[in-house]
Amino acid sequence: MATVAAVIASTHHPFYYRASTATGEDRPPFADEWAAKIEAFRETLTTSRPDVLVMVGSDHFHQLWLDNMPQFLIGKAPFYDANFYNEEREFGLPRMFVHGREDLSAYLLREGMDAGFDLAFSNELRIDHSITCPLITLRPQADLPIVPIYTNIFAPPLPRPKRFVELGKTIRRLVEAWPSDDRVAIIGTGHLSLELGGPRQFGPHGPDPRFDRKAVEWIASGDIESAVAEVSLESLWLPGNATHGFMDFMLMMGVAGENASANHVDSLDLFHTMEAYFTWYPKEAS
Amino acid sequence: MSKYLLNKFLYTIDRDPDLVERYRHDPRGTVEWWESERANVILNIPPSERSTWLRFTDAEREALATHDYVTLFELGSHNFLLLTLFIALFERDYDEPLAFQRQFAARLGHWTLPYPDIST
């Protein structure tokens, strides 16, 4: 059976690439501290020696459109081109190209459906910064094959938070049962409090630092019970109008497991939205 | 009212660099052309199989034709699509980084929760 080498959850601040590669006068004052945290975070994946990355993200209205909107989608393709014109334009993100693992994609689709999730799939998927940002931070050489999993956190009606947790738990169980000798890292990114296109956007901090502190504590301690009790589709508008992305963190908490304490926890209070980084090493992984 | 159609406009303009420039320089002409030639084109289907029923209300058309993002927010267009396109249109006009984004926020400062419903 496959080994879950690491479970990793983080935010996907799209300004990291530009900030960290800037030099001289263009380099922002927080860039060095940010890069140091990212380098430590990157090491948590490197040290786990993965063969393949399952990567959970959310298409930001790039390829997926309201005329055909999947709630949960798994990419099944031999390759994935990455990053879109408007991400190059706004964030200076580079074009990328990664390999897929169609055998793992097919397995997750089949077993995921049999487990009760009517998963959509794509045989030609261009991936966006929700997946390329963690590639840039965690595996910039982009040498490992991936299985991309997209979740709908933007286009109502959305699945409820509990459904994200259940999918996360299912992904974990399925990867552990995958008949393979591979080491699989399961990586997902989501949002903390965040406002996009609203009055609280682009402030000196995320729109709701109190929510962020609570959220970081829930994630770090695997406190799924508290998160599910306190968070709802209705309540997630309050910390910022893009905070439904927190449900991807809840999905990753499902992957990590109930009451699983993260082995690596770090955060950075930045303009616009807080950055946070979490890594769990399942006991069986070493 | 069609929030879906507002969003479709924002989405299809934003993903095409030529259309971004055209909309910046000639918003009224671009909206008129788009409503006539593109509003009913389903994105994954050849134009010969177009829809027949999509059109803007007068308020929607006017807000788009005047780059009025405050009204577009009020009309329930998707906040992410609205922000992304308007950054593409106007960020370049400001010297200070993120100055446009902060002005956008300030112009919406009269809004408290709940914000307009963006469901389509």
State how far the Cα of B7 lies from the Cα of A64, in Å rounded to an integer: 13
Q: Name which of B4, B15, B87 is nearest A66 (Cβ-Cβ).
A: B4
ipTM for the assembly: 0.96
* Residue A284: per-residue pLDDT: 66
Helices B17-25, B27-37: inter-axial angle, 10-degree rounding:
130
The H-assigned helical ranges of A66-127 are 85-91, 102-114
Asked if B104 and B91 touch (Cβ cutoff 8 Å), the reply is no
The SS3 of residue A57 is strand
The reply to whether B54 touches chain A by the CB within 8 Å rule is no
* Residue A283: per-residue pLDDT: 82
| A148 strand-pairing partners | A55
Q: What does the domain layout of chain B look like in residue ranges?
A: 3-107
| Sign of the torsion formed by the C-alpha atoms of A132, A134, A137 and A141 | negative
Q: Which CATH class is domain A3-285?
A: alpha beta
State how far the Cα of A58 lies from the Cα of A49, in Å rounded to an integer: 25
* Residue B1: per-residue pLDDT: 76
The H-assigned helical ranges of A97-223 are 102-114, 129-138, 161-177, 209-221
Cβ of B8 within 8 Å of Cβ of A68? The answer is no
The reply to whether A238 touches chain B by the CB within 8 Å rule is yes
Q: Name which of A67, A197, A199 is nearest B42 (Cβ-Cβ).
A: A67
Q: Name which of B11, B14, B17 is nearest A65 (Cβ-Cβ).
A: B11
Which residue, among A214, A245, A62, A54, has the nearest Cα to A138 in the 3D structure? Answer: A54
State how far the Cα of A11 lies from the Cα of A130, in Å rounded to an integer: 9
Cβ of B7 within 8 Å of Cβ of A66? The answer is yes
- Number of Cβ pairs < 8 A linking chain A and chain B: 81
The reply to whether B106 touches chain A by the CB within 8 Å rule is yes
pLDDT tens string, chain A, 286 residues long: the values are 999 999 999 999 999 999 999 999 999 999 999 999 999 999 999 999 999 999 999 999 999 999 999 999 999 999 999 999 999 999 999 999 999 999 999 999 999 999 999 999 999 999 999 999 999 999 999 999 999 999 999 999 999 999 999 999 999 999 999 999 999 999 999 999 999 999 999 999 999 999 999 999 999 999 999 999 999 999 999 999 999 999 999 999 999 999 999 999 999 998 889 999 999 999 865 5
- CB contacts of A66 in chain B (<8 Å) are 4, 7-8, 120
* DSSP state at residue A262: P
pLDDT tens digits for range A156-187? 999 999 999 999 999 999 999 999 999 999 99
* Residue A286: per-residue pLDDT: 52
Q: What's the average pLDDT block by block, 10 residues per block, for chain B (120 residues)?
A: 95 98 98 98 95 97 98 98 98 96 98 98
* Residue A202: per-residue pLDDT: 96
Cβ of A156 within 8 Å of Cβ of B80? The answer is no
- CB contacts of A198 in chain B (<8 Å) are 73, 79, 105, 108, 111, 115
The reply to whether A241 touches chain B by the CB within 8 Å rule is yes
Cβ of A197 within 8 Å of Cβ of B82? The answer is yes
